[in-house]
Structure 1
Amino acid sequence: MSREPTFGSSAIRRQFSELAELIDDELTVYLIGGGALTLAELKNATKDVDLIVRSDSELRQLRTALRSAGYEPPAGLSESYHELEASFILENDRRRFDVFCEQVAGVLFLTDSMVSRSRHLFDEGPLSVRTVALTDIFLFKAVANREDDVDDMIRIAQGGIDDDVILEEVETQLGLIGRDEFIGAMKHKLDRLEERGYVFDIHAEIESLYVSLGTERQSTMLSPRFWSSNTMTISTRVSPSRRLNARSVWK
Protein backbone atom coordinates (compact mmCIF):
# COMPACT_ATOMS: atom_id res chain seq x y z
CA MET A 1 0.00 0.00 0.00
CA SER A 2 1.34 3.41 -0.98
CA ARG A 3 1.92 5.84 1.87
CA GLU A 4 0.21 9.21 1.75
CA PRO A 5 2.27 12.37 2.26
CA THR A 6 1.91 13.37 5.92
CA PHE A 7 4.81 15.76 6.50
CA GLY A 8 3.49 19.25 5.83
CA SER A 9 5.53 22.40 6.34
CA SER A 10 4.36 23.01 9.91
CA ALA A 11 4.87 19.34 10.83
CA ILE A 12 8.44 19.44 9.51
CA ARG A 13 9.24 22.57 11.50
CA ARG A 14 7.63 21.10 14.62
CA GLN A 15 9.57 17.85 14.28
CA PHE A 16 12.90 19.64 13.94
CA SER A 17 12.04 21.74 16.98
CA GLU A 18 11.40 18.58 18.99
CA LEU A 19 14.60 16.97 17.74
CA ALA A 20 16.63 20.04 18.72
CA GLU A 21 15.68 19.45 22.35
CA LEU A 22 17.29 16.01 22.12
CA ILE A 23 20.55 17.22 20.58
CA ASP A 24 23.50 18.32 22.71
CA ASP A 25 26.16 19.40 20.22
CA GLU A 26 25.89 21.67 17.21
CA LEU A 27 24.53 19.81 14.21
CA THR A 28 23.90 20.97 10.64
CA VAL A 29 21.60 19.02 8.34
CA TYR A 30 20.99 19.64 4.64
CA LEU A 31 17.56 18.93 3.18
CA ILE A 32 17.89 17.33 -0.25
CA GLY A 33 14.38 16.19 -1.20
CA GLY A 34 10.68 16.47 -0.55
CA GLY A 35 11.10 18.19 2.80
CA ALA A 36 12.94 21.04 1.13
CA LEU A 37 10.29 21.28 -1.60
CA THR A 38 7.54 21.33 1.03
CA LEU A 39 9.20 24.12 3.00
CA ALA A 40 9.67 26.00 -0.30
CA GLU A 41 5.92 25.57 -0.92
CA LEU A 42 6.52 23.61 -4.12
CA LYS A 43 4.44 20.73 -2.72
CA ASN A 44 1.88 20.51 0.05
CA ALA A 45 3.46 17.64 1.96
CA THR A 46 6.04 14.89 1.63
CA LYS A 47 6.23 11.23 2.58
CA ASP A 48 9.89 11.41 3.55
CA VAL A 49 12.26 14.03 4.87
CA ASP A 50 15.50 13.33 3.01
CA LEU A 51 18.53 14.90 4.59
CA ILE A 52 22.27 14.54 4.54
CA VAL A 53 25.05 15.23 7.04
CA ARG A 54 28.78 15.52 6.52
CA SER A 55 30.30 13.36 9.26
CA ASP A 56 29.77 10.09 11.11
CA SER A 57 29.57 11.93 14.43
CA GLU A 58 26.66 14.03 13.13
CA LEU A 59 25.07 10.85 11.81
CA ARG A 60 25.24 9.21 15.25
CA GLN A 61 23.89 12.27 16.99
CA LEU A 62 20.93 12.56 14.62
CA ARG A 63 20.08 8.88 14.85
CA THR A 64 20.14 9.01 18.66
CA ALA A 65 17.80 12.01 18.63
CA LEU A 66 15.36 10.38 16.21
CA ARG A 67 15.28 7.13 18.18
CA SER A 68 14.67 9.12 21.37
CA ALA A 69 11.78 10.85 19.57
CA GLY A 70 10.15 7.48 18.90
CA TYR A 71 11.38 6.74 15.39
CA GLU A 72 12.00 3.09 14.54
CA PRO A 73 13.35 1.18 11.53
CA PRO A 74 10.41 0.55 9.18
CA ALA A 75 9.43 -2.92 8.03
CA GLY A 76 9.01 -3.96 4.41
CA LEU A 77 10.96 -1.25 2.61
CA SER A 78 10.63 -1.40 -1.16
CA GLU A 79 13.62 -2.04 -3.40
CA SER A 80 13.67 1.62 -4.45
CA TYR A 81 14.47 2.57 -0.85
CA HIS A 82 17.22 -0.02 -0.53
CA GLU A 83 18.78 1.35 -3.72
CA LEU A 84 19.16 4.75 -2.06
CA GLU A 85 21.77 3.24 0.28
CA ALA A 86 20.71 5.50 3.13
CA SER A 87 22.81 5.38 6.27
CA PHE A 88 19.53 4.76 8.07
CA ILE A 89 15.79 5.12 7.56
CA LEU A 90 13.54 5.67 10.58
CA GLU A 91 9.77 6.04 10.78
CA ASN A 92 7.22 7.21 13.32
CA ASP A 93 3.48 7.11 12.60
CA ARG A 94 4.00 7.04 8.80
CA ARG A 95 6.45 9.94 8.94
CA ARG A 96 9.85 8.93 7.70
CA PHE A 97 13.40 10.28 7.78
CA ASP A 98 15.83 9.05 5.11
CA VAL A 99 19.27 10.04 6.36
CA PHE A 100 22.53 9.99 4.40
CA CYS A 101 26.13 10.73 5.22
CA GLU A 102 28.03 12.54 2.46
CA GLN A 103 26.65 10.38 -0.36
CA VAL A 104 23.33 9.23 -1.85
CA ALA A 105 22.77 5.94 -3.69
CA GLY A 106 26.51 5.34 -3.82
CA VAL A 107 26.82 7.69 -6.80
CA LEU A 108 26.22 11.29 -5.69
CA PHE A 109 28.18 13.24 -3.08
CA LEU A 110 27.26 16.34 -1.13
CA THR A 111 30.11 18.44 -2.50
CA ASP A 112 31.64 21.66 -1.25
CA SER A 113 30.05 23.46 -4.19
CA MET A 114 26.62 22.14 -3.16
CA VAL A 115 27.24 23.33 0.39
CA SER A 116 28.25 26.78 -0.88
CA ARG A 117 25.01 26.98 -2.89
CA SER A 118 22.88 25.80 0.05
CA ARG A 119 20.56 28.16 1.87
CA HIS A 120 19.98 28.55 5.60
CA LEU A 121 16.37 27.86 6.59
CA PHE A 122 16.23 28.08 10.37
CA ASP A 123 17.99 27.26 13.62
CA GLU A 124 16.48 25.37 16.53
CA GLY A 125 18.89 25.48 19.45
CA PRO A 126 22.04 23.56 18.42
CA LEU A 127 20.34 22.31 15.24
CA SER A 128 20.86 24.23 12.01
CA VAL A 129 18.66 23.30 9.05
CA ARG A 130 19.76 24.17 5.53
CA THR A 131 18.50 23.22 2.09
CA VAL A 132 20.62 22.55 -0.95
CA ALA A 133 19.76 24.55 -4.05
CA LEU A 134 16.80 23.40 -6.15
CA THR A 135 19.15 22.56 -9.02
CA ASP A 136 21.07 20.25 -6.67
CA ILE A 137 17.84 18.66 -5.43
CA PHE A 138 17.11 17.96 -9.11
CA LEU A 139 20.40 16.01 -9.21
CA PHE A 140 19.66 14.09 -6.01
CA LYS A 141 16.23 13.18 -7.37
CA ALA A 142 17.89 11.98 -10.57
CA VAL A 143 19.63 9.12 -8.73
CA ALA A 144 16.57 7.99 -6.76
CA ASN A 145 13.92 5.59 -8.05
CA ARG A 146 11.01 6.22 -5.71
CA GLU A 147 7.61 6.70 -7.30
CA ASP A 148 7.37 10.44 -6.55
CA ASP A 149 10.86 11.50 -7.59
CA VAL A 150 10.01 12.21 -11.24
CA ASP A 151 7.06 14.37 -10.16
CA ASP A 152 9.35 16.31 -7.84
CA MET A 153 11.85 16.84 -10.67
CA ILE A 154 9.03 18.28 -12.77
CA ARG A 155 8.10 20.67 -9.95
CA ILE A 156 11.68 21.87 -9.76
CA ALA A 157 12.06 22.15 -13.54
CA GLN A 158 8.94 24.27 -13.83
CA GLY A 159 10.71 26.88 -11.73
CA GLY A 160 13.86 26.61 -13.83
CA ILE A 161 17.15 24.78 -13.35
CA ASP A 162 20.67 26.01 -14.00
CA ASP A 163 22.10 23.87 -16.81
CA ASP A 164 25.62 25.21 -16.32
CA VAL A 165 25.59 24.29 -12.62
CA ILE A 166 24.35 20.79 -13.43
CA LEU A 167 27.08 20.18 -15.99
CA GLU A 168 29.77 21.53 -13.66
CA GLU A 169 28.48 19.34 -10.85
CA VAL A 170 28.38 16.30 -13.14
CA GLU A 171 32.08 16.82 -13.87
CA THR A 172 32.84 17.18 -10.16
CA GLN A 173 30.87 14.05 -9.27
CA LEU A 174 32.59 11.95 -11.93
CA GLY A 175 35.94 12.97 -10.50
CA LEU A 176 34.87 12.01 -6.98
CA ILE A 177 33.11 8.72 -7.57
CA GLY A 178 35.54 7.31 -10.12
CA ARG A 179 32.80 5.50 -12.05
CA ASP A 180 29.86 6.45 -14.24
CA GLU A 181 26.67 4.97 -12.73
CA PHE A 182 25.59 8.52 -11.91
CA ILE A 183 25.41 9.40 -15.61
CA GLY A 184 23.36 6.30 -16.36
CA ALA A 185 20.90 7.12 -13.58
CA MET A 186 20.58 10.70 -14.74
CA LYS A 187 20.08 9.69 -18.37
CA HIS A 188 17.32 7.29 -17.29
CA LYS A 189 15.50 10.03 -15.38
CA LEU A 190 15.83 12.54 -18.23
CA ASP A 191 14.44 9.88 -20.60
CA ARG A 192 11.44 9.44 -18.28
CA LEU A 193 10.93 13.19 -18.12
CA GLU A 194 11.01 13.37 -21.91
CA GLU A 195 8.28 10.71 -21.99
CA ARG A 196 6.24 13.07 -19.80
CA GLY A 197 6.82 15.93 -22.25
CA TYR A 198 9.71 17.68 -20.48
CA VAL A 199 12.86 18.12 -22.54
CA PHE A 200 15.98 19.86 -21.22
CA ASP A 201 18.95 21.35 -23.01
CA ILE A 202 21.26 19.19 -20.88
CA HIS A 203 19.58 15.97 -22.08
CA ALA A 204 21.63 15.80 -25.28
CA GLU A 205 24.86 16.49 -23.41
CA ILE A 206 24.14 13.83 -20.79
CA GLU A 207 23.24 11.39 -23.57
CA SER A 208 26.51 12.14 -25.37
CA LEU A 209 28.50 11.75 -22.16
CA TYR A 210 26.75 8.46 -21.40
CA VAL A 211 27.63 7.07 -24.84
CA SER A 212 31.19 8.37 -24.59
CA LEU A 213 31.78 6.83 -21.16
CA GLY A 214 30.26 3.55 -22.30
CA THR A 215 32.58 3.39 -25.29
CA GLU A 216 35.56 4.27 -23.12
CA ARG A 217 34.62 1.56 -20.61
CA GLN A 218 34.33 -1.09 -23.32
CA SER A 219 37.69 -0.06 -24.81
CA THR A 220 39.32 -0.25 -21.39
CA MET A 221 37.96 -3.73 -20.69
CA LEU A 222 39.13 -4.99 -24.09
CA SER A 223 42.63 -3.69 -23.51
CA PRO A 224 45.22 -6.22 -22.24
CA ARG A 225 46.37 -3.55 -19.79
CA PHE A 226 43.00 -3.81 -18.03
CA TRP A 227 43.85 -7.37 -17.00
CA SER A 228 47.38 -6.52 -15.88
CA SER A 229 48.45 -5.55 -12.38
CA ASN A 230 47.07 -2.08 -13.09
CA THR A 231 43.57 -3.47 -12.52
CA MET A 232 44.04 -3.23 -8.77
CA THR A 233 45.06 0.41 -9.09
CA ILE A 234 41.92 1.17 -11.10
CA SER A 235 39.70 -0.58 -8.58
CA THR A 236 41.09 1.20 -5.55
CA ARG A 237 40.24 4.58 -7.07
CA VAL A 238 36.55 3.90 -6.57
CA SER A 239 35.26 5.56 -3.42
CA PRO A 240 33.42 3.12 -1.12
CA SER A 241 29.80 3.79 -0.23
CA ARG A 242 29.38 5.63 3.06
CA ARG A 243 26.58 3.20 3.84
CA LEU A 244 29.13 0.46 4.43
CA ASN A 245 30.81 2.58 7.09
CA ALA A 246 27.49 3.48 8.68
CA ARG A 247 26.25 -0.12 8.71
CA SER A 248 29.07 -1.16 11.03
CA VAL A 249 28.12 1.68 13.37
CA TRP A 250 24.48 0.63 13.70
CA LYS A 251 24.89 -3.11 14.22
Structure 2
Amino acid sequence: MISDISMIESLMGEISDALDSEVDVYMIGGGAMMYLDSKPGTKDIDLIVRSEDDFHAMISAMKSIGFISIRPGEEYKRMNLSGMYERSDGFRVDIFDTRVCSKLSLSDHMAARAKQVGPDRNARLHVCSPMDILIFKSITEREGDETDCLALMSEHIIDWDEVLSEIRYQISEGEDVWITWIADRMYYFSEKFGSDIPILDDLLGMADRFLDQWEREMEAKAGELGGKDLSKLPPE
Protein backbone atom coordinates (compact mmCIF):
# COMPACT_ATOMS: atom_id res chain seq x y z
CA MET A 1 0.00 0.00 0.00
CA ILE A 2 1.33 3.42 -0.96
CA SER A 3 0.40 5.62 1.98
CA ASP A 4 2.48 8.76 1.47
CA ILE A 5 3.37 10.99 -1.47
CA SER A 6 7.03 10.71 -0.50
CA MET A 7 6.89 7.04 -1.53
CA ILE A 8 5.75 8.03 -5.02
CA GLU A 9 8.40 10.73 -5.29
CA SER A 10 11.09 8.30 -4.18
CA LEU A 11 10.03 5.80 -6.84
CA MET A 12 9.97 8.46 -9.54
CA GLY A 13 13.48 9.44 -8.47
CA GLU A 14 14.63 5.85 -8.99
CA ILE A 15 13.00 5.71 -12.40
CA SER A 16 14.53 9.08 -13.34
CA ASP A 17 18.00 7.88 -12.44
CA ALA A 18 17.50 4.79 -14.61
CA LEU A 19 16.24 6.73 -17.64
CA ASP A 20 18.63 7.79 -20.39
CA SER A 21 16.30 10.51 -21.67
CA GLU A 22 13.60 12.88 -20.47
CA VAL A 23 10.05 11.51 -20.33
CA ASP A 24 6.83 13.33 -19.45
CA VAL A 25 4.73 10.99 -17.30
CA TYR A 26 1.08 11.68 -16.46
CA MET A 27 -0.52 10.24 -13.34
CA ILE A 28 -4.18 9.32 -13.07
CA GLY A 29 -5.95 7.16 -10.49
CA GLY A 30 -5.36 6.89 -6.77
CA GLY A 31 -1.82 8.23 -6.84
CA ALA A 32 -2.99 11.43 -8.49
CA MET A 33 -5.83 11.71 -5.98
CA MET A 34 -3.28 11.57 -3.16
CA TYR A 35 -1.65 14.70 -4.59
CA LEU A 36 -5.12 16.29 -4.70
CA ASP A 37 -5.73 15.40 -1.01
CA SER A 38 -8.70 13.26 -2.08
CA LYS A 39 -7.34 9.86 -1.09
CA PRO A 40 -5.11 8.71 1.81
CA GLY A 41 -3.40 5.92 -0.10
CA THR A 42 -3.43 3.64 -3.13
CA LYS A 43 -2.38 0.10 -3.95
CA ASP A 44 -0.91 1.03 -7.32
CA ILE A 45 0.24 3.92 -9.47
CA ASP A 46 -1.42 4.59 -12.84
CA LEU A 47 0.85 6.29 -15.36
CA ILE A 48 0.32 7.38 -18.95
CA VAL A 49 3.02 8.30 -21.47
CA ARG A 50 2.30 9.83 -24.84
CA SER A 51 4.57 7.98 -27.25
CA GLU A 52 5.77 4.46 -27.94
CA ASP A 53 9.39 5.55 -27.41
CA ASP A 54 8.56 6.97 -23.98
CA PHE A 55 6.65 3.80 -23.12
CA HIS A 56 9.59 1.55 -23.94
CA ALA A 57 12.00 3.88 -22.12
CA MET A 58 9.86 3.70 -18.98
CA ILE A 59 9.54 -0.09 -19.16
CA SER A 60 13.29 -0.49 -19.58
CA ALA A 61 13.98 1.82 -16.63
CA MET A 62 11.46 0.05 -14.41
CA LYS A 63 12.87 -3.37 -15.23
CA SER A 64 16.36 -2.15 -14.39
CA ILE A 65 15.24 -1.26 -10.84
CA GLY A 66 13.56 -4.57 -10.14
CA PHE A 67 10.06 -4.42 -11.63
CA ILE A 68 8.66 -7.47 -13.38
CA SER A 69 5.63 -7.82 -15.65
CA ILE A 70 2.54 -9.42 -14.10
CA ARG A 71 -0.81 -10.54 -15.48
CA PRO A 72 -3.75 -8.17 -14.84
CA GLY A 73 -6.74 -9.50 -12.89
CA GLU A 74 -10.27 -9.77 -14.25
CA GLU A 75 -11.21 -6.33 -12.90
CA TYR A 76 -8.69 -4.82 -15.34
CA LYS A 77 -10.19 -6.49 -18.42
CA ARG A 78 -11.89 -3.33 -19.71
CA MET A 79 -8.78 -1.20 -19.22
CA ASN A 80 -6.61 -3.00 -21.80
CA LEU A 81 -3.46 -2.17 -19.92
CA SER A 82 -0.29 -1.60 -21.91
CA GLY A 83 1.64 -3.01 -18.97
CA MET A 84 1.35 -3.95 -15.30
CA TYR A 85 4.58 -4.16 -13.31
CA GLU A 86 5.34 -5.08 -9.72
CA ARG A 87 8.38 -5.10 -7.45
CA SER A 88 9.19 -7.25 -4.43
CA ASP A 89 8.76 -4.28 -2.05
CA GLY A 90 5.06 -4.09 -2.99
CA PHE A 91 5.15 -1.24 -5.51
CA ARG A 92 2.89 -1.81 -8.50
CA VAL A 93 2.73 0.39 -11.58
CA ASP A 94 0.03 0.22 -14.26
CA ILE A 95 1.34 1.97 -17.34
CA PHE A 96 -0.52 3.01 -20.48
CA ASP A 97 0.79 4.04 -23.88
CA THR A 98 -1.46 7.05 -24.60
CA ARG A 99 -4.81 5.22 -24.35
CA VAL A 100 -6.84 3.77 -21.48
CA CYS A 101 -9.32 1.02 -22.37
CA SER A 102 -7.91 1.25 -25.92
CA LYS A 103 -10.47 4.02 -26.43
CA LEU A 104 -9.83 7.10 -24.28
CA SER A 105 -6.56 8.93 -24.87
CA LEU A 106 -4.61 11.48 -22.88
CA SER A 107 -5.37 14.44 -25.12
CA ASP A 108 -3.42 17.66 -25.57
CA HIS A 109 -6.14 19.37 -23.50
CA MET A 110 -5.69 16.90 -20.64
CA ALA A 111 -1.91 17.26 -20.77
CA ALA A 112 -2.24 21.05 -20.61
CA ARG A 113 -4.51 20.82 -17.56
CA ALA A 114 -2.11 18.51 -15.71
CA LYS A 115 0.28 20.05 -13.18
CA GLN A 116 3.92 19.06 -12.84
CA VAL A 117 4.87 17.93 -9.35
CA GLY A 118 8.26 17.18 -7.88
CA PRO A 119 11.65 18.22 -9.26
CA ASP A 120 12.45 18.71 -12.94
CA ARG A 121 14.30 15.48 -13.75
CA ASN A 122 14.32 12.77 -16.41
CA ALA A 123 10.90 11.47 -15.37
CA ARG A 124 8.81 14.63 -15.21
CA LEU A 125 5.68 13.73 -13.26
CA HIS A 126 2.41 15.51 -14.04
CA VAL A 127 -0.78 15.03 -12.02
CA CYS A 128 -3.94 15.11 -14.12
CA SER A 129 -6.78 17.46 -13.17
CA PRO A 130 -9.73 16.27 -11.04
CA MET A 131 -12.10 16.46 -14.02
CA ASP A 132 -9.83 14.35 -16.20
CA ILE A 133 -9.28 11.75 -13.48
CA LEU A 134 -13.07 11.63 -13.16
CA ILE A 135 -13.43 10.94 -16.89
CA PHE A 136 -10.90 8.12 -16.79
CA LYS A 137 -12.38 6.57 -13.65
CA SER A 138 -15.89 6.75 -15.08
CA ILE A 139 -15.02 4.12 -17.70
CA THR A 140 -13.13 1.65 -15.50
CA GLU A 141 -14.47 -1.03 -13.17
CA ARG A 142 -11.80 -1.54 -10.53
CA GLU A 143 -12.55 -1.78 -6.85
CA GLY A 144 -12.81 1.72 -5.43
CA ASP A 145 -13.43 3.54 -8.72
CA GLU A 146 -17.02 4.34 -7.76
CA THR A 147 -15.98 5.79 -4.39
CA ASP A 148 -13.19 7.74 -6.04
CA CYS A 149 -15.57 9.30 -8.57
CA LEU A 150 -17.92 10.40 -5.80
CA ALA A 151 -15.00 11.92 -3.87
CA LEU A 152 -13.79 13.84 -6.92
CA MET A 153 -17.26 15.28 -7.55
CA SER A 154 -17.84 16.25 -3.92
CA GLU A 155 -14.39 17.62 -3.06
CA HIS A 156 -13.49 19.51 -6.24
CA ILE A 157 -15.14 22.04 -8.50
CA ILE A 158 -15.81 20.15 -11.72
CA ASP A 159 -16.15 22.26 -14.85
CA TRP A 160 -18.87 20.17 -16.47
CA ASP A 161 -18.80 22.19 -19.69
CA GLU A 162 -15.12 21.27 -20.02
CA VAL A 163 -15.93 17.63 -19.26
CA LEU A 164 -18.52 17.61 -22.04
CA SER A 165 -16.12 19.36 -24.41
CA GLU A 166 -13.42 16.77 -23.69
CA ILE A 167 -15.82 13.88 -24.21
CA ARG A 168 -16.98 15.31 -27.54
CA TYR A 169 -13.38 15.79 -28.61
CA GLN A 170 -12.47 12.22 -27.66
CA ILE A 171 -15.42 10.85 -29.63
CA SER A 172 -14.39 12.88 -32.68
CA GLU A 173 -10.89 11.37 -32.48
CA GLY A 174 -11.74 7.68 -32.21
CA GLU A 175 -14.15 4.97 -31.17
CA ASP A 176 -17.09 6.09 -29.08
CA VAL A 177 -18.39 2.90 -27.45
CA TRP A 178 -17.16 4.13 -24.07
CA ILE A 179 -19.74 6.94 -24.08
CA THR A 180 -22.25 4.26 -23.03
CA TRP A 181 -20.02 3.38 -20.06
CA ILE A 182 -19.64 6.95 -18.79
CA ALA A 183 -23.34 7.72 -19.37
CA ASP A 184 -24.37 4.64 -17.39
CA ARG A 185 -21.97 5.51 -14.56
CA MET A 186 -23.14 9.11 -14.30
CA TYR A 187 -26.80 8.07 -14.44
CA TYR A 188 -26.10 5.63 -11.59
CA PHE A 189 -24.48 8.37 -9.50
CA SER A 190 -27.43 10.68 -10.11
CA GLU A 191 -30.06 8.07 -9.27
CA LYS A 192 -28.40 6.35 -6.30
CA PHE A 193 -26.49 9.19 -4.66
CA GLY A 194 -28.29 12.28 -5.92
CA SER A 195 -25.12 13.59 -7.57
CA ASP A 196 -25.66 16.83 -9.48
CA ILE A 197 -24.44 16.15 -13.00
CA PRO A 198 -25.54 19.07 -15.22
CA ILE A 199 -24.48 17.33 -18.44
CA LEU A 200 -26.31 14.06 -17.72
CA ASP A 201 -28.97 14.61 -20.40
CA ASP A 202 -26.23 15.35 -22.93
CA LEU A 203 -24.37 12.15 -22.03
CA LEU A 204 -27.50 10.02 -22.21
CA GLY A 205 -28.38 11.55 -25.58
CA MET A 206 -24.90 10.80 -26.91
CA ALA A 207 -25.13 7.22 -25.66
CA ASP A 208 -28.56 6.78 -27.28
CA ARG A 209 -27.25 8.09 -30.60
CA PHE A 210 -24.31 5.69 -30.44
CA LEU A 211 -26.61 2.74 -29.76
CA ASP A 212 -29.01 3.78 -32.54
CA GLN A 213 -26.11 3.98 -34.98
CA TRP A 214 -24.77 0.63 -33.80
CA GLU A 215 -28.19 -1.00 -34.32
CA ARG A 216 -28.45 0.43 -37.84
CA GLU A 217 -25.00 -0.89 -38.69
CA MET A 218 -25.88 -4.34 -37.35
CA GLU A 219 -29.14 -4.39 -39.33
CA ALA A 220 -27.29 -3.37 -42.49
CA LYS A 221 -24.69 -6.05 -41.92
CA ALA A 222 -27.40 -8.63 -41.29
CA GLY A 223 -28.99 -7.66 -44.61
CA GLU A 224 -25.69 -8.13 -46.41
CA LEU A 225 -25.39 -11.60 -44.87
CA GLY A 226 -28.92 -12.61 -45.76
CA GLY A 227 -30.33 -12.32 -42.25
CA LYS A 228 -27.64 -14.46 -40.64
CA ASP A 229 -27.61 -14.37 -36.82
CA LEU A 230 -24.87 -11.84 -36.03
CA SER A 231 -24.60 -13.03 -32.45
CA LYS A 232 -22.91 -16.16 -33.79
CA LEU A 233 -20.33 -14.25 -35.77
CA PRO A 234 -16.84 -13.70 -34.33
CA PRO A 235 -16.30 -10.13 -33.05
CA GLU A 236 -14.35 -7.80 -35.31
Report the residue type matching 2:163 in the other structure: I
Match for residue 172 of structure 1 among 169, 173, 193: 169
TM-score (norm 1): 0.82
Change in Cα spacing, 1:226 to 1:61, as seen in structure 2 (3 Å) is: farther
Change in Cα spacing, 1:224 to 1:129, as seen in structure 2 (3 Å) is: closer
Say if 2:75 is the partner of 1:85. no
Change in Cα spacing, 1:23 to 1:7, as seen in structure 2 (3 Å) is: farther
TM-score (norm 2): 0.87
Q: Deviation of residue 140 (structure 1)?
A: 0.7
Q: Count residues in correspondence.
A: 223
User: Does structure 2 retain, via aligned residues, the 8 Å contact 1:32–1:137?
Assistant: yes
Report the residue type matching 1:113 in the other structure: H
Name the counterpart of 1:184: 180
Q: Which runs of 5+ in 1 are unaligned?
A: 229-251
Name the counterpart of 1:240: none
Q: Deviation of residue 104 (structure 1)?
A: 0.2
Name the counterpart of 1:237: none
Q: Deviation of residue 218 (structure 1)?
A: 1.7
Alignment RMSD: 2.1
- State the distance in 1 between where 2:73 and 2:185 align: 19
Name the counterpart of 1:248: none
Name the counterpart of 2:232: none
After alignment, is 219-228 or 102-111 more displaced?
219-228
Name the counterpart of 1:155: 151
Name the counterpart of 1:243: none
Q: Deviation of residue 125 (structure 1)?
A: 2.5
Q: Deviation of residue 160 (structure 1)?
A: 2.2
After alignment, is 190-199 or 25-34 more displaced?
190-199
Name the counterpart of 1:6: 2
Q: Deviation of residue 124 (structure 1)?
A: 4.8
* Deviation sequence 1:98-146 (CA, Å, 0-9, x none): 1001100012011111112221112353221112211111111111110
Q: Which runs of 5+ in 2 are unaligned?
A: 226-236
Say if 2:43 is the partner of 1:43. no
Q: Deviation of residue 176 (structure 1)?
A: 1.2
What's the secondary structure of 2:48's corresponding residue?
Answer: strand
- State the distance in 1 between where 2:221 and 2:24 align: 48
Counting only pairs closer than 5 Å after superposition, residues 1-251 of structure 1 correspond to structure 2 as 5-74=1-70, 77-92=72-87, 93-158=89-154, 159-177=156-174, 179-194=175-190, 195-223=192-220, 227=224
Percent identity over the alignment is 26
